[in-house]
Amino acid sequence: RPQRPLGGRPAAAAVPAVLPTFQKGDMVRHKAFGQGMILSVQKMGGDALVEIAFDNVGTKRLMLKSAAAHMEKI
């Protein structure tokens, strides 16, 4: 049985560290803001500004590198 890193997810293939792959239209669940849909993704240097319409808290603009640690695609 192959070993998995903590968290129970399979280890990612050896790829350079890149931005998480969130794109316009993706449905996401954020730990603090709940469920929403990505309205736009604007690349900014080594990061990206994402605009997300959340069901309960309205539209938020977040920097993807920090936001990605707190949300997942659904």
pLDDT in tens, 32-44: 999 999 999 999 9
* Cα 37 to Cα 22: distance, rounded to the nearest angstrom: 10
End-to-end CA, the chain: 28
Structural domain total, the chain: 1
Give the three-state DSSP class for 39.
Answer: strand
pTM: 0.72
In this structure, is residue 34 part of a structural domain? yes
In this structure, is residue 57 part of a structural domain? yes
Q: Is 53 left (phi over 0), alpha (psi -120 to 50) or beta?
A: beta
In this structure, is residue 43 part of a structural domain? yes
pLDDT in tens, 15-59: 444 556 889 999 999 999 999 999 999 999 889 999 999 999 999
In this structure, is residue 17 part of a structural domain? no
The parent domain of residue 34 ranges over: 27-73
Q: What are the backbone dihedrals phi and psi of residue 35, each rounded to the nearest 5 degrees, phi first? A: -85, 145
In this structure, is residue 53 part of a structural domain? yes
CATH number at residue 60: 2.40.10
Q: Is 20 left (phi over 0), alpha (psi -120 to 50) or beta?
A: beta
In this structure, is residue 52 part of a structural domain? yes
